[in-house]
Amino acid sequence: MENTPICSRFAPSPTGYMHIGNLRTALYAYLLSRSTGGKFIVRIEDTDRERLVEGAVDVILGTLKVTGLDYDEGPVVGGPNGPYTQSERKPIYREYAEKLVSLGHAYYCFCTPERLAELHEENENGGYDRHCRNLPADVVKANLEAGIPYVIRQKIPLEGTTSYTDEVFGEISMENKEMQDQILLKADGYPTYNFAHVVDDYLMGVTHVVRGSEYLTSTPKYVLLYDAFGWERPHYCHLPLLMGKDADGKISKLSKRHGAVSFQDLVKNGYLPEAIVNYIALLGWCPKNTNQEIFSLEELKGLFGIEGINKSPAVFDYEKLRWFNSEYIKALPDDRYNALAVPALKKVCGDNVDVYKLAELLHSRLACFGDIPETVRFINERLPMEDPASLYANKKNKTTAESCKAVLNDVLPMLELTEAWDNDSLFELLKGYAEGIGIKAGAVMWAVRIAVARQAVTPGGATELMTVLGKNETVQRIKLAISEL
RNA sequence: GGCCCGUUGGUCAAGCGGUUAAGACGUUAGCCUCUCACGCUGAAAACAUGGGUUCGAUUCCCGUACGGGUCACCA
């Protein structure tokens, strides 16, 4: 058990929607700090001015709000180490970059983008040739005074090895000669991610850096920066990536080709935020000593720990998400459930049917609110029957198209005559009929259910569907069914 | 291609030198029920591979294969 409070942060770029992998990173960072009673910070990394998307910050903050990931410091709420948006911290980075130059761990580079492109052309895997690394001081001074555009690059040691211990992956070592003199401060005066996040994490007191494993191999460069400044290195927790599976079975980083990958899309498709959070919490992490899978955020806070984080990439499984969602729907109190189901039902069924009754029938059957239109389409629409013979045939109840036709013929006049159109009465009526002729009630129910719904799987039994459809429509549909058989 | 990381059923995963190798989703057989679902009980299904170390390897070490990541004035 961890007992020193962990300060972690979530530092997204406002480049559009909230990717589910991003949300998972936020969740883990959040849980890590909350499980130790520590702070959770949100920071907006908007140093790439060209990729900014308007409204993206709102999407990020909105997602954190509906998922319940509350933060102690961040944009809007502020905090002692603000501002929490990098574009508002621009002078800070320059100050530290220049400090690094004076410390001898960084240098001004006046190479033009054109020259770098040429370099790349000559040798694709060569990288920057460190042309400006040892420029004489007077040349640098003259260039600066002449206003020649420049960047500031990190001076990576030419020899030796840099290592750090990742909390999840263990010791990671990298030969210094494998690393580039990466750019710290861009020509436009903004810092790169490589520099800004290091300065900010230090200044904001972040003790644990939680992020995707794509940073595993660039972290030695960041560690070198901490060392150069003489700052204490933070703990690193790199997370296994979220993958998706193609139609042809190929596995790759989760992206749009795999389906909905943003939190907003999933919610729009009818998944509950709690279900999504629960599912992704378990994608790459597993609690100790329990087989439980359904967890509230609150429970997660108590159970989370770095020891349970996996190293290998995890494939996002929409089927399992559906299962979580169905569990959460079933557990939803009626008022919350109705608030979601009823409007969706009204949209499809209009006001002619008892949508509350329908909603009730659906409560234990629905895996996802997005299924509603398809599930209840048959109510207002007499669907075409593709293969009546197989639809009417049911081996458990020993029904066939013929036997169903006979049943429907018998039952039709009884239904036309009855006045009591409620579930119990209808059920007794049909059951009595079945007993009378000595067949299973199921055989009668099957015939009627198929005849009125015109599809195999329905959101209720025969008599329930009849009450929803009403007497007139039921009778019409049975007549239609008989004529088709 | 160089470097880094990973590899338990179709998927998520437990395991941390000796186990009948859990559990969940999905698939499937059946049961229950007043009909569809829900629910319940079963079934099939896995330690990538070759060497070591060891009395004994899924577990530790090395190689191989496969998968992923990374080599930007993007994060």
**What distance, in Å, lies between the first and last C-alpha atoms of chain A?**
68
State, as a whole number of angstroms, the distance between the CA of A331 and the C1' of B24. 18
**Strand pairing category for A40-42 and A106-109:** unpaired
State, as a whole number of angstroms, the distance between the CA of A46 and the C1' of B27. 46
pLDDT at A1: 43
Type of residue found at A115: R
The pLDDT of residue A3 is above 80: no
Residues 6+ apart with CB under 8 A from A464: A361, A423
Share of chain A above pLDDT 70, in %: 100
A246: nearest Cα among A235, A260, A238, A257:
A257
Query: Are A174 and A162 in contact, with CB atoms under 8 Å apart?
Result: yes
Domains of chain A (ranges; CATH) run: 87-239 (3.40.50.620), 243-330 (1.10.1160.10), 333-369 (no CATH), 388-484 (1.10.10.350)
Query: Are A69 and A30 in contact, with CB atoms under 8 Å apart?
Result: yes
pLDDT tens by residue, A73-121 = 999 999 999 899 999 999 999 999 999 999 999 999 999 999 999 998 8
- Mean pLDDT (whole number) for A339-350: 93
pLDDT at A396: 82
Q: Where are the beta strands (DSSP E) in A225-383?
A: 235-239, 242-245, 251-253, 314-315
Query: Are A206 and A8 in contact, with CB atoms under 8 Å apart?
Result: yes
- Mean pLDDT (whole number) for A138-155: 97
Q: Which helix (H) or strand (E) holds A70?
A: none
Q: Which two tokens mark A160?
A: 């030796």
Across all strands, nucleotide nearest A251 (CA–C1'): B67
pLDDT tens by residue, A166-183 = 999 999 999 999 999 999
pLDDT tens by residue, A38-67 = 999 999 999 999 999 999 999 999 999 999
pLDDT at A60: 97
Share of chain A above pLDDT 90, in %: 86
C-alpha atoms less than 13 angstroms from C-alpha of A309 in its C-beta half-sphere: 26
Residues 6+ apart with CB under 8 A from A441: A430, A431, A434, A435
Mean pLDDT of chain A: 94
Q: How confident is the model at residue A21 (pLDDT cuts 50, 70, 90)?
A: very high
Q: Which two tokens mark A422?
A: 């409620």
State, as a whole number of angstroms, the distance between the CA of A168 and the C1' of B5. 11
A260: nearest Cα among A17, A15, A27:
A17
State, as a whole number of angstroms, the distance between the CA of A213 and the C1' of B69. 7
State, as a whole number of angstroms, the distance between the CA of A129 and the C1' of B1. 19
pLDDT tens by residue, A153-167 = 999 999 999 999 999
pLDDT tens by residue, A227-279 = 999 999 999 999 999 999 887 778 888 998 898 999 999 999 999 999 999 99
Instruction: Out of A177, A253, A256, A311, pick the active-site residue.
Output: A256
Q: Which residues pair with A237 in a beta bridge?
A: A210
What whole-number distance in Å separates Cα of residue A144 and Cα of residue A477?
86
Residues 6+ apart with CB under 8 A from A236: A164, A165, A166, A167, A208, A209, A219
Residues 6+ apart with CB under 8 A from A425: A418
Query: Are A9 and A206 in contact, with CB atoms under 8 Å apart?
Result: yes
Q: How confident is the model at residue A2 (pLDDT cuts 50, 70, 90)?
A: very low
Block residue for tokens 């049943």: A407
pLDDT at A390: 85
Distances in Å between the alpha carbon of A391 and those of A78, A378, A398? 62, 15, 12
What whole-number distance in Å separates Cα of residue A113 and Cα of residue A187?
10
The pLDDT of residue A397 is above 80: yes
Block residue for tokens 């979601």: A340
- CA angle in degrees (0–180, nearest 5) for A430-A434-A437: 140
What whole-number distance in Å separates Cα of residue A338 and Cα of residue A171?
52
Phi, psi of A48 (to 5 degrees): -90, 100
- CA angle in degrees (0–180, nearest 5) for A332-A333-A335: 120
- Mean pLDDT (whole number) for A348-360: 90
Instruction: List the nucleotides on chain B closer than 7 A to a protein CB.
Output: 1-8, 10-16, 22-26, 31, 34-38, 67-75
Across all strands, nucleotide nearest A326 (CA–C1'): B38
pLDDT at A248: 78
Q: Which two tokens mark A103?
A: 């410390």
With b for 16 or more beta-carbon neighbours within 10 A and e for fewer, the A50-80 pattern comes to: eeeeeebbebbbebbeebebebebbbeeebe
Q: How confident is the model at residue A147 (pLDDT cuts 50, 70, 90)?
A: very high
Measured in residues, chain A has a length of 485
- CA angle in degrees (0–180, nearest 5) for A85-A90-A95: 135
Query: Are A341 and A369 in contact, with CB atoms under 8 Å apart?
Result: yes
What whole-number distance in Å separates Cα of residue A185 and Cα of residue A188?
8
A256 is catalytic: yes
* Burial tier of A147 (Cβ tally within 10 Å: 0-12, 13-18, 19+): exposed
pLDDT at A451: 95
Q: Which two tokens mark A135?
A: 């420029």
State, as a whole number of angstroms, the distance between the CA of A479 and the C1' of B1. 72
pLDDT tens by residue, A409-418 = 999 999 999 9
State, as a whole number of angstroms, the distance between the CA of A11 and the C1' of B75. 10
Q: How confident is the model at residue A352 (pLDDT cuts 50, 70, 90)?
A: confident
A106: nearest Cα among A218, A20, A182:
A182
pLDDT at A386: 77
Distances in Å between the alpha carbon of A471 and those of A39, A430, A465, A466, A480? 62, 14, 10, 7, 14
The dihedral sign for the CA sequence A312, A316, A320, A321: positive
* ipTM attached to this prediction: 0.96
What whole-number distance in Å separates Cα of residue A224 and Cα of residue A176?
10
